């Protein structure tokens, strides 16, 4: 067992990054705790309304000059940032493990995903092009150009502290807007480290800003009249309120909410590969992701197949090594917070109360290494789950699998579509026909075929339907380019 | 010693390559006649580490089963320290062949285990295993030329 060296040696006092400068906040501070070791690793300020206003003013002032910077010149800043991210790849990854708790493999995956967003943004001269047509009428030409709008912000969640703001900020800034990130106060350090690299890459002051804080800070950003658009990833309840607020204040919004994802296993699935995919789907990131598997739906009336899949799933689940993510042998880290662990525990109790059978109980996990068990919880599996049970309907956001048996694919699809969420659902099968049927009929923003985590790449939009998404255009890819720009039509005739 | 995560497997590959490189550096020092070839092997070992690390870092976001793609007992691929410096070249080369066979087996098995799951990682493992085959042939030729 090799425990990698921690890159953070002292308790950091985090500052805001406004107008190209690191500025201390007068707001109260909150501890940032490594959920595996229980140690305080940073103090994060809760920024005041005045500090938010200062950041918005700086971003607004920077906008005019930045939007006039040629797209190719803007892209070059991102080429420099990309190189700096590569140079700091390992440090950034280890920081994520320290502040969030995820395993080092998962953190490296997150770092890579973040870098991929930056890489796509370097293609902005091509991505941002408009189109035109000569002679729409005799001697008259028409064209459409895409123009940036001003200040955008991201209110970030705790589950992917490095990557999620990058779903938006490179696209916003590359298209000529300016940006403010409000990291989650639970794990804001990797955003600070990212911003240090933004600073080193030489972005002009005010183009990229970081303001720390909680709900009040987010509220100030939402209220501000100079903020043209908001991006948010979090719970559906908060997301719905943010979307309403953006409607009232005339802001654009990308709001990604909660999920309850179904992993549908057909009788013709490749069992070995399916089990590996299910492990990462249900237990990766300790189940704290909106693309995690939550309900394992085993299809068919063949008892032998049902028992085989269930047995293999339980066996693999029982062998998962839980511990500190910087230990390379660990497969699942702790929950990011004690609150998260308590929430999962409550859902497990609810499942028992409603009559499901808890066949693997993660509430008292064996933790590898000498760490306090404060935030650790092991994987749990319920069988005999019915679709009406709370654990089958609500997002648990933790490593809990609910096994549901259905007779056929049709029943499975109806079950998936009965959920109020529609985020990342998957089918495991060797049948193209079954896969096509699933892809065609399931109401979900992201569909997996033999993929347990349906995470779209940077050049595709991150989908979401029903209560999992509020908005029209999505983050990443061409959708993001359209979201962060306004189309302007020019019709011209010369006498 | 069972490895399950990609991070562990990559670290183990690094250890094998570094130990192998050190072995060839020593061989080169003790056998100036073949210094160039042995130094080349050491350099290639270090390059293999870079290649594996590069591919791993590049594809880990797609290889989402990173924590669950392996279940490898790697004890049999480990090799002990260096032979006695007074041993003749034949002994050193025999040992090198053994190291290369074990290392090639490790990469082949690792590639097989994570095939279909780990994007470009099985490909780089297979490529390095194949390079090992060439090296084994060269070492065997060297061994026979020294025993004739």
The chain-wide mean pLDDT, for chain A, equals 97
* Residue B28 distance to chain A (closest CA, Å): 31
Q: Do B61 and A116 touch (CB under 8 A)?
A: yes
The helix or strand, by DSSP H or E, that contains position B29, with its residue range, turns out to be helix B6-30
Q: Does the beta-carbon distance from B8 to A455 stay under 8 Å?
A: no
Q: Which of B96, B122, B97 is nearest to B109 (CA)?
A: B122
Chain A and chain B share a number of CB contacts under 8 A equal to 73
Q: What backbone torsions phi and psi does residue A381 show, to the nearest 5 degrees?
A: -135, 130
- Mean pLDDT calculated for residue range B27-41: 95
Q: From B65, which residue of chain A is nearest by alpha-carbon distance? A: A280
pLDDT (tens digit, 9 = 90+) per residue, A444-474?
Answer: 999 999 999 999 999 999 999 999 999 999 9
**Residue B148 confidence (pLDDT) above 70:** no
Q: What SS3 string covers chain A?
A: CCECCCCCCCCEECCEEECCEEECCCCCEEEEECCCCCCEEEEEECCCHHHHHHHHHHHHHHHHHHHHCCHHHHHHHHHHHHHHHHHCHHHHHHHHHHHHCCCHHHHHHHHHHHHHHHHHHCCHHHHCCCEEEEEEECCEEEEEEEEECCEEEEECCCCCCCHHHHCCHHHHHHCCCEEEEECCCCCCHHHHHHHHHHHHHCCCCCCEEECCCCHHHHHHHHHCCCEEEEEEECCHHHHHHHHHHHHHHCCEEEEECCCCEEEEECCCCCHHHHHHHHHHHHHHHHHCCCCCEEEEEEECCCHHHHHHHHHHHHHHHHCCCEECCCECCCCECCCCCHHHHHHHHHHHHHHHHCCCEEEECCCCCCEECCCCCCCCCCCEEEECCCCCCHHHHCCCCCCEEEEEEECCHHHHHHHHHCCCEECEEEEECCCHHHHHHHHHHCCCCEEEECCCCCCCCCCCCCCCEECCEEECCCCCHHHHHHHCEEEEEEEEECC
Structure token pair of residue A472: 């029209």
pLDDT mean over B31-47? 96
Residue A3 has pLDDT above 70, yes or no: yes
Task: Report d(CA A204, CA A52) in Å as an integer.
Answer: 19
Whether B64 sits inside 8 A of A109 (CB atoms) is: yes
Distance from CA of B125 to the nearest CA of A (A): 18
The DSSP secondary structure of B48-90, one letter per residue, reads HHHHHHHHHHHHTTT-TTTTTS--EE-GGG---SPPPTTS-HH
**Cβ pair A94, A321 in contact under 8 A:** no
Contact B7/A321, CB-based, under 8 Å? no
A→B contacts (Cβ < 8 Å), by residue, are 2, 89, 103-106, 108-110, 112-113, 116, 273, 276-277, 279-280, 284, 316, 321, 328-332, 452-453, 455
For residue B114, the chain A residue with the least C-alpha distance is: A273
CB pair distance less than 8 Å for A280 and B65: yes
Q: Which of A2, A106, A112 sits opposite B11 (nearest CB)?
A: A2
The ipTM of this complex is: 0.88
In a mutational test of the B interface, the residue from A88, A103, A105, A286 whose CB has the highest number of chain B CBs within 10 Å is: A105
Band the pLDDT of B117: cuts 50, 70, 90: confident
Q: pLDDT of A309-350, one tens digit each?
A: 999 999 999 999 999 999 999 999 999 999 999 999 999 999
CA-CA distance, A429 to B37, in Å (whole number)?
A: 50
Determine if the pTM surpasses 0.80: yes
Tens digits of per-residue pLDDT, A128-186? 999 999 999 999 999 999 999 999 999 999 999 999 999 999 999 999 999 999 999 99
Tell me the torsion sign for CA atoms B19, B24, B27, B32.
Answer: negative
Predicted confidence at residue B87, as pLDDT, reads: 85
Three-state secondary-structure class, residue B2: strand
Nearest CA in chain B to A89: B57
Q: Which residues of A touch B58 (CB under 8 A)?
A: 112
Catalytic site positions of A: 290
HSE-up of residue A54 (Cα within 13 Å, Cβ side): 19
Contact call for B7 and A328, based on CB within 8 A: yes
pLDDT for the residue B85: 82
pLDDT at B64 over 80: no
pLDDT of residue B118: 80
The pLDDT tens digits of the residues spanning A63-121 come to: 999 999 999 999 999 999 999 999 999 999 999 999 999 999 999 999 999 999 999 99
- Write out chain B residues lying below 8 Å of A269, CB-based: none
Q: Which residues of B touch A (CB under 8 A)?
A: 3-8, 11, 56-61, 63-69, 116-117
| Mean pLDDT computed over A51-57 | 98
Among chain A residues, the shortest Cα distance to B53 is held by: A90
pLDDT at A431 over 80: yes
Backbone φ, ψ for residue A331 (5° rounding)? -105, -20
State the smallest CA–CA distance between residue A394 and chain B in angstroms.
Answer: 25
Name the residue facing B69 among A89, A276, A329 (closest C-beta): A276
Cβ proximity of A148 and A252 under 8 Å = no
Distance, first Cα to last Cα, chain A: 79
A chain contacts of residue B54, beta-carbon cutoff 8 Å: none
**Residue B82 binned pLDDT confidence (cut-offs 50, 70, 90):** confident
pLDDT tens digit sequence for A272-320: 989 989 999 999 999 999 999 999 999 999 999 999 999 999 999 999 9
Distance between A147 CA and the closest CA of chain B, angstroms:
32
Above 70 in pLDDT, residue A381?
Answer: yes
What is the model's pLDDT at position B83? 82
The average pLDDT across A258-265 equals: 98
* Site from A117, A160, A313, A328 to mutate, B interface, most B CB atoms within 10 angstroms: A328
Give the pLDDT score at B63: 64
Q: What mean pLDDT is reported for chain B?
A: 91
Q: Do B6 and A105 touch (CB under 8 A)?
A: yes
Does the pLDDT of residue B62 top 80, yes or no? no
């Amino acid at each position: 067992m090799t425990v990698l060296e921690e890159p953070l040696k002292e308790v950091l006092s985090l500052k805001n990054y406004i107008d190209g400068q690191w500025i201390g906040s007068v707001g109260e501070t909150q501890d940032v705790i490594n959920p595996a070791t229980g140690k305080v690793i940073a103090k994060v300020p809760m920024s005041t309304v005045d500090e938010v206003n200062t950041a918005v003013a700086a971003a607004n002032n920077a906008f005019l000059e930045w939007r006039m910077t040629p797209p190719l010149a803007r892209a070059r800043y991102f080429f420099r940032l990309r190189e700096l991210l590569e140079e700091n790849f390992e440090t950034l990854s280890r920081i994520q493990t320290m502040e969030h708790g995820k395993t080092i493999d998962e953190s490296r995956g997150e770092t890579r995903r973040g870098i991929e967003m930056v890489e796509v943004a370097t293609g902005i001269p091509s991505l941002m092009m408009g189109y035109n047509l000569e002679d729409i009428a005799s001697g008259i030409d028409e064209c459409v150009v895409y123009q940036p709008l001003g200040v955008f912000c991201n209110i970030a969640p705790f589950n992917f502290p490095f990557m999620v703001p990058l779903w938006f900020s490179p696209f916003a800034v590359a298209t000529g807007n300016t940006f403010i990130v409000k990291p989650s106060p639970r794990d804001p350090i990797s955003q600070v480290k990212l911003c240090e690299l933004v600073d080193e890459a030489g972005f002009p002051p005010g183009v990229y800003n970081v303001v720390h804080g909680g709900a009040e800070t987010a509220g100030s950003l939402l209220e501000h009249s100079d903020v043209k658009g908001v991006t948010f990833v979090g719970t559906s309840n908060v997301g719905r309120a943010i979307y309403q607020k953006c409607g009232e204040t005339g802001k654009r919004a990308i709001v990604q909410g909660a999920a309850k994802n179904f992993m549908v296993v057909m009788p013709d699935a490749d069992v070995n590969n399916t089990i590996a995919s299910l492990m990462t789907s249900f237990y990766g990131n300790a189940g704290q992701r909106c693309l995690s598997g939550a309900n394992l739906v085993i299809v068919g009336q063949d008892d032998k197949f049902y028992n085989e899949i269930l047995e293999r799933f339980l066996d693999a689940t029982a062998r998962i090594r839980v511990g500190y993510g910087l230990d390379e042998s660990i497969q699942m880290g702790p929950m990011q917070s004690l609150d998260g662990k308590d929430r999962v525990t409550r859902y497990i109790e609810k499942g028992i109360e409603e009559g499901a059978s808890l066949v693997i109980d993660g509430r008292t996990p064996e933790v590898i290494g000498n760490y306090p068990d404060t935030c650790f919880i092991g994987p749990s599996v319920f069988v005999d789950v019915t679709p009406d049970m709370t654990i089958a309907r609500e997002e648990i956001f933790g490593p809990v699998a609910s096994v549901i048996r259905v007779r056929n694919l049709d029943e499975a699809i109806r079950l998936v579509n009965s959920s109020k969420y529609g985020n990342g659902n998957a089918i495991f099968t060797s049948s193209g026909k079954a896969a096509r049927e699933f892809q065609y009929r399931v109401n979900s923003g992201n569909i997996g075929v033999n993929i347990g985590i349906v995470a779209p790449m940077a050049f595709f939009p991150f989908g979401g339907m029903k209560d999992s998404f509020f908005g029209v255009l999505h983050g990443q890819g061409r959708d993001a380019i359209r979201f962060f720009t306004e189309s302007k039509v020019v019709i011209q005739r010369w006498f | 010693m069972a490895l399950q995560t990609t991070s562990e497997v990559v670290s183990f590959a690094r250890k094998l390559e570094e130990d192998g490189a050190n072995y060839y550096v020593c061989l080169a020092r003790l056998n100036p006649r073949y210094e160039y070839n042995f130094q080349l092997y050491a350099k290639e070992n270090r390059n293999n580490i870079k290649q594996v690390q590069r591919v791993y870092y590049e594809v880990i976001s797609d290889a989402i089963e990173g924590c669950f793609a392996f279940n490898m007992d790697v004890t049999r691929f480990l090799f002990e320290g260096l032979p006695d410096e007074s041993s003749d070249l034949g002994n050193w080369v025999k040992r090198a062949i053994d190291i290369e066979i074990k290392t090639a087996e490790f990469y082949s098995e690792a590639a097989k285990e994570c095939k279909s799951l780990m994007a470009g990682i099985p490909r780089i493992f297979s490529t390095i295993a194949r390079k090992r085959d060439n090296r084994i042939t060269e070492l065997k030729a060297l061994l026979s030329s020294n025993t004739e």
